[in-house]
Amino acid sequence: MSTVSGWRRQRGQLTRLFEFKDFVDALKFVQRVGRAAERFQHHPDIDIRWNKVVLRWVTHDAGGLTARDFEMARRCNRLAG
């Protein structure tokens, strides 16, 4: 977990809340995450609430967390700035 700052394990998933200035900035972040997820062919569960975005990573077909989840969590940290 030390390699994914700000993330926590919750119900077998990597979870993090990101907060932004407003809804538009939150949506821009989700768009960046979406593009990265498509390139990596690994997609998060996403919850958007005005200026807050919750991302959850888990590799469903592996039955839990894998290196792919941790890599995408690190990418999301970079995308959030």
Render pLDDT for 33-62 as a digit per residue (tens, 0 to 9).
999 999 999 999 999 999 999 999 999 888
The answer on pLDDT for 1 being more than 80 is no
- Statement: the pTM of the whole predicted model exceeds 0.85: yes
3-state DSSP assignment of residue 19: strand
> Domains of the chain (ranges plus CATH)?
8-80 (3.30.1360.20)
Distance CA 62, CA 54 (A): 22
Q: Are 51 and 22 in contact (CB under 8 A)?
A: yes
Cα–Cα distance measured from residue 38 to residue 43, given in angstroms and rounded to the nearest whole number: 7
Q: And the tokens for 29?
A: 């972040």
% of the chain beyond a pLDDT of 90:
90
- Per-residue confidence (pLDDT) for residue 22, from 0 to 100: 98
For residue 3, what pLDDT band results from cuts at 50, 70 and 90?
Answer: confident
Average model confidence (pLDDT) across the chain:
95
Token pair recorded at residue 31: 């768009």
